[in-house]
């Protein structure tokens, strides 16, 4: 008789650790992005465009959480993520980035000289791009060759150009692409 027992109760009072892995803060995305988060313990995460979000992420209930965001509006955007562990402890963070949902626009496509074409002559190809953010990559393709900015394609303001020499006499199709 005289037996005794000792019981210890562990109480989880610490909120989980939350890291928002994408999109990166300050980055630029198109009209769709994947919101990714990781936690250090099993949690359920919610997301939204205001604090204390209520929409459960499509992939959650573990350590890795994700949600595809679509039809994002052009301009700056902020999303909040709120994760709760099984003990009810909550952590919330937000990430802000810029949505570039408008494609770059071009004008003033030109070649110099325009014609006639002679082998060995120097040719310059020009295009002017405008974009609501900034063009980070530009590709000039002619035949099977691709030239990129930054690199072989040069830039002055919004005008991109490349100078080529020793093109064989032929009819060439060329394209410009900007991102």
Q: Look at residue 55 in the predicted model and tell me its pLDDT.
A: 97
Tokens found for residue 132: 């609501």
Helices first, then strands: H and E counts in the chain: 0, 14
For the purposes of burial, counting CB atoms within 10 Å of the CB of 22, is it exposed (0-12), middle (13-18) or buried (19 or more)?
middle
Q: Look at residue 41 in the predicted model and tell me its pLDDT.
A: 95
Residue pLDDT tens, the chain, 179 long: 678 888 887 778 899 999 999 998 888 788 899 999 999 999 999 999 999 999 999 998 889 999 999 999 888 999 999 999 999 999 999 999 988 888 888 988 888 887 666 666 788 899 998 886 677 788 999 988 899 888 889 889 889 999 988 777 777 888 998 87
Q: pTM of the entire structure?
A: 0.66
Q: Look at residue 15 in the predicted model and tell me its pLDDT.
A: 94
Q: Look at residue 40 in the predicted model and tell me its pLDDT.
A: 96
Q: Look at residue 81 in the predicted model and tell me its pLDDT.
A: 98
Q: Look at residue 119 in the predicted model and tell me its pLDDT.
A: 65
Q: Which of 67, 70, 69, 71 is nearest to 57 (CA)?
A: 67
pLDDT digits (tens, 9 = 90+) for 70-115: 999 888 999 999 999 999 999 999 999 988 888 888 988 888 887 6
Q: Look at residue 47 in the predicted model and tell me its pLDDT.
A: 98
**Contacts with 122 (C-beta within 8 Å, 6 or more apart), sequence order:** 163, 164, 165
């Amino acid at each position: 008789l005289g037996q005794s027992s000792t019981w210890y109760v562990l109480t989880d009072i610490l909120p989980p650790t939350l890291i928002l892995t994408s999109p990166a803060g300050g980055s630029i995305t198109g009209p769709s992005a994947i919101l990714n988060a990781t936690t250090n313990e099993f949690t359920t995460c919610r997301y939204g465009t205001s604090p204390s979000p209520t929409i459960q992420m499509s992939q959650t209930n573990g350590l890795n959480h994700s949600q595809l965001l679509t039809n994002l509006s052009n301009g700056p955007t902020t999303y909040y993520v709120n994760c709760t562990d099984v003990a009810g402890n909550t952590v919330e963070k937000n990430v802000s980035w810029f949505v570039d949902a408008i494609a770059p626009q071009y004008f003033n496509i030109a070649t110099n000289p325009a014609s006639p074409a002679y082998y060995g002559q120097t040719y310059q190809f020009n295009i002017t791009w405008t974009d609501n953010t900034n063009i980070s990559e530009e590709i000039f393709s002619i035949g099977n060759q691709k030239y990129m900015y930054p690199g072989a394609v040069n830039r002055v303001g919004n005008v991109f150009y490349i100078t080529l020499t020793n093109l064989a006499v032929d009819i060439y199709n060329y394209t410009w692409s900007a991102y």
